[in-house]
Structure 1
Amino acid sequence: MDDQTRSRVAAELLAAYDTKVPLEPLTATHEGMGLEDAYVIQQLQIQERIAGGRVVRGHKVGLTSAAMQRLLGVSEPDYGHLLDDFFHLEHAPIPVSQFLQPRVEPEVAFVLKKPLQGPGVTVHEALQAVDFVLPALEIVDSRIRDWTIGLFDTIADNASSGAVVLGSTPTAVDAVDLRLAGATFHRNGVVVGTGAGGAVLGSPLNSLVWLANTVGARGVTLEADHVVLPGAVCAMAPVAAGDVFTATFAGLGSVTARFV
């Protein structure tokens, strides 16, 4: 894709946030689209949002489960950016109308206390950079019609990011085995999913290391105080107005998101 096409696709994706009209799959309308095109399109949107006053507050990692990787025919995750206006307070009403086709998934969020710069980051270095972990609910969303996405579609669309709700129970990263930390995911009091941290690349820490090294190769540092969402511990669930979602993690506490 040439620069003009990349810019046009980025503008179309940005417009979808406001119009709430999803796009056709990008990989169908732009057959020559590749991995680098997708990440450039994502970055063009982030640059535009920053120019409009938004601030990057972290990153998210997607496609961390074996099932999702098989579904999209990929062998590694992808990543997107978390902006300051993505964050919603726990229990505070979240308007469904601000999204196109939202879904919710439970995650363990890392909060960093010092920068993490790859490539070459190890698990040991990642552990040293983490201040604490929090239970979290990520609201994923897609600007692509009916979630008919391939790898390049979701990367270009900021890894299908929507919003995030963080819990209020910080836990030291060495106080719990994140691989074995089980989670129960409720929608309106009914269990809609269960899982554990091991579903995320074997451990959420592996996802953090992957992210630091992947963005580091692109000249990006994971900054102190930033939030990293390493990936979902179970399948996502669709959202409707009136829904209340709660994820409870063993050893980490719970987090609740309310939608109106």
Structure 2
Amino acid sequence: MTDDIARAADTLLRAYETHEPIDPLTPQFADAPLSVAYEIAQAQVQAWEKAGDTVKGHKVGLASRAMQRQAGVTQPDFGQLTSTMFFLEHQPIPARTFIQPRIEPEVAFVLSRPLTGPGVTVAEAAAAVDFVLPALEIVDSRIRDWRIGIFDTVADNASSGGVVLGSRPVQLSDVDLRLAGCTLHVNGDLVGTGAGGAVLGSPLNALVWLANTVGPLGVTLEPGHVVLPGSMTKAVDLRPGDSVVAAVAGLGSVTAVFGQEDK
């Protein structure tokens, strides 16, 4: 199994380099537990770190019913966010970075103290949050045509791609994330609406789930790390030249500009 994990990780790493998606991994690992998929993902993160990248946070994926229905799964997953995944608001994001990108509106937690599960409570999670920001997550799949099951997306680092953070920090106590409504516009057209309550009842619940899920794996959510708790709407296809704005009540807005394809 160790060799199979290494081969799968290498195949996914090559997809990043070649921008050629691969066939689903699920048939090769039909009898494998989900923990094997997380080992495949971790092998890729270790390769990135060896090359000089740095883990800057985590994401919870598939946390809302809308996203679970869209992906055909019934449970959340998580991935790691590295420094090369973060892009500045309003600045063109190179289209060549991605294979088949989609975009999602989220809130982002920025932590002021470590969180280590299991046993983390909502109270402890809230106390660990320094501030929150509106965010746009670019999800991408190295699996051809997004034909993913839960094993595929977990092995593919929870389909992580990129992150754009808003620039106006808000204290957690100043906003009710459960009731915070969200709108998503692409090129001025409204393409999605949602609310924080769509994310496991509250984005804060997703932070608790993450801390208690990664803790037994020896992972601590570190001060300064960004945590994306999950999308408030369905993911929307992203095309070169698109301008995307997410507005979250109480948090303000965040804008992502997707660059044109290189000629």
TM-score by length of 1: 0.97
Q: Which residue of 2 aligns with 1:206?
A: 205
How many residue pairs get matched?
259
Q: Deviations over 1:33-91 (max 9, x none)?
A: 33011000001111111111010000000111124335656543100000000000000
Residue identity opposite 1:245 in structure 2: V
CA distance in 1, matches of 2:244, 2:32: 36
Task: Give 5+ residue unaligned stretches, structure 1.
Answer: none
Superposed counterparts of 1:17-96, under 5 Å: 17-70=16-69, 74-96=73-95
CA distance in 1, matches of 2:82, 2:31: 29
Q: Which residue of 2 aligns with 1:228?
A: 227
* SS of equivalent residue, structure 1 residue 47: helix
CA distance in 2, matches of 1:33, 1:250: 42
Q: Which residue of 1 aligns with 2:258?
A: 259
Superposed counterparts of 1:1-260, under 5 Å: 2-70=1-69, 74-260=73-259
CA distance in 2, matches of 1:220, 1:22: 29
Structure 2 contact 194–233 (Cα < 8 Å) conserved: yes
CA distance in 2, matches of 1:36, 1:216: 14
Q: Deviations over 1:102-134 (max 9, x none)?
A: 000000000000101110000000000000000
Task: Give 5+ residue unaligned stretches, structure 2.
Answer: none
Distance 1:50 1:138, change over 3 A: same
* SS of equivalent residue, structure 2 residue 151: helix
CA distance in 1, matches of 2:72, 2:20: 27
CA distance in 2, matches of 1:62, 1:135: 16
Distance 1:188 1:73, change over 3 A: closer
Structure 2 contact 108–134 (Cα < 8 Å) conserved: yes
CA distance in 1, matches of 2:196, 2:252: 14
CA distance in 1, matches of 2:90, 2:18: 27
Once structures 1 and 2 are overlaid, which stretch shifts more, 79-88 or 21-30? 21-30
TM-score by length of 2: 0.96
Residue identity opposite 2:137 in structure 1: E
Distance 1:122 1:256, change over 3 A: same
Task: Give 1:143 deviation, angstroms.
Answer: 0.2
CA distance in 1, matches of 2:240, 2:76: 30
CA distance in 2, matches of 1:221, 1:112: 11
Identity within the alignment, %: 62
CA distance in 1, matches of 2:241, 2:147: 26
Distance 1:190 1:74, change over 3 A: closer
